[in-house]
Amino acid sequence: MQAIKNSSLDINTKVKRGEIVFKVLMHILMIIIALILVFPYFYMVMKSLMTQEEVISSTFKLFPSVPQFSNYTQILQDSGYLAAFGHTMLVIVFNLIAVPLSATFVAFGFARCKFIGKNIIFAFMLSTLMLPSVVTQVPLYVLYSKIGWLNTLYPLTIPNITGGGAIYIFLARSFLQSIPKDIDDAAKIDGAGSLRRYFFIGLPLCKPILIYIMINVFTSNWGDYYGPLVWRLDDSFPATLAYKVFYLLQNGATGNDMVHIRMAAGVIMSLVPAVLFFIFQKQLIEGVAMDGLKG
């Protein structure tokens, strides 16, 4: 009896020890991957604190000999960067209001109203997800040039009052459909018109999806360099921050716009979405999952 008990105890401790070893190994693996993935940020921060000589020298250096925090103050005082930041914020503030409002507005119609053409419009809207955007680019450029929209921020903002993209409308519609119609029907009986029902019932209910849409609108507009690149005509274009960084990257600029300064701009540019991500990580990750599950 005693012998059997002992051996079974042995097996138990062996299994446990195996589990612990496995757990430790997996944690070491996860930490190594995390270090690899975090390294580029670290590299960027280090570069942003170097002097110009250190950045362009052919010998490799990971740490700056003396951290140059003045690189950051240079950006904050540079009127070019400040103006670019202003343009980016104009675009973002407009879209932060326009996209969630128009997307949920349209989605409310799809989720709560019956009308002729609903299925066709919905199917066509979804098919635009598969449509390469380059197909519409050239005619839109010509159209914008005719109505004087080139070299302005209109192409980056005005089209967004029409729903801001199929994916947002689709997500908001699915979300609204998952909510019982009871409150809506009650309001209907009380005599609330559809517009009132949208503003006072539909919109507040959409709050979780609104947050997801807004963060995405923020990050996509914050990092968008291609839109400004297409809709610009000449250098008098009101450059956004992402476009300015892109432009300097492509044109190998000098002086205030050398690598170390650009790296500092890059740090500032990635800091903002990173902070947003840390605050709203739950909504974002759930939203990405929703995005992916639509198939």
- Stretch 197-216 residues interacting with another protein (CB under 8 A): 198
Candidate segments 21-29, 66-74, 75-83, 203-211, binder of another protein by CB under 8 A: 21-29
Taking the least distance from each CB to another protein, the nearer of 4 and 200 is 200
Q: Pick out residues in 99-128 that bind another protein (CB under 8 A).
A: 102, 105-106, 108-110, 113-118, 121, 124-125, 128
Which residue, 77 or 250, has its beta carbon nearer to another protein? Answer: 250
Work out which of 130, 178, 235, 255 binds another protein, going by CB under 8 A. Answer: 130
- Nearest CB to another protein, comparing residues 18 and 40: 40
Nearer to another protein, 7 or 128 (CB): 128
Complex with another protein: residue 15 or 131, whichever CB lies closer: 131
Closest CB 10 distance from another protein, rounded Å:
25
Least separation in angstroms between CB 3 and another protein: 31
What residues between 257 and 276 interact with another protein by CB under 8 A?
Answer: 259, 262-263, 266, 269-270, 273-274, 276
Distance CA 238, CA 241 (A): 10
Per rule CB under 8 A, is residue 45 in the interface with another protein? no
Q: According to CB under 8 A, which residues from 159 to 178 bind another protein?
A: 159, 161-163, 169
Nearer to another protein among residue 4 and residue 252 (C-beta): 252
